[in-house]
Amino acid sequence: MSNVNIVFTRVDNRLVHGQVGNVWVTASGANLILVVDDEVCKDSLQQSLMKMTADSVGVKIRFFSVQKTIDIIGKAAPSQKIFIVAKTPFVIEELVKNGVPIKSCNIGNMHKSEGKEIFHEVHVYTDKNDIDCFERLKNMGVDVYIQITPNDRKYVV
């Protein structure tokens, strides 16, 4: 599976939106956005909204569950430059634990919710479980960092 061409991985509660489509896809050189989410892969309305963003920047988009991603990502063509996006770092951790060759993970937006405290500026809210997940990812060799847009400073977690 090490031949899989994953060019960018991002945690963003919003999944695919203008910032991901217009800024990160361009900066990463991706030609395929892979949304890894067990709920969205079954929700055609959310998919159609995200597909509009992908279409506007001329890239393909796929919606897979965590397990489907683990099962088939190794079959990706070398020409596919894959941008993985998930809502939580726990999804990324599950992928890595199951052999998906993710080398780095950009932490984008993690919204404020009950029990979450500000971790970085105004975009990343975490609890102890999130921070522990970041540490586990780092221990598995994943470079975990916060960077809201490519022009912003990169903060190593």
3-state SS, residue 67 = helix
Distance between CA atoms of 136 and 141, rounded to whole angstroms? 9
**What secondary structure does DSSP assign to 69-137, as a single string?**
HHHHGGG--TT--EEEEESSHHHHHHHHHTT----EEEE--B---TT-EEEETTTEEE-HHHHHHHHHH
C-alpha closest to that of 4 among 111, 106, 102: 102
Distance between CA atoms of 61 and 33, rounded to whole angstroms? 5
Is 17 known to be catalytic? Answer: yes
The single residue of 17, 111, 120, 123 carrying the catalytic annotation is 17
In whole angstroms, what separates CA 150 from the centre of its chain?
Answer: 15
φ/ψ of residue 66, rounded to 5: -60, -45
Q: Which two tokens stand for residue 76?
A: 């990706």
| Catalytic site positions | 17
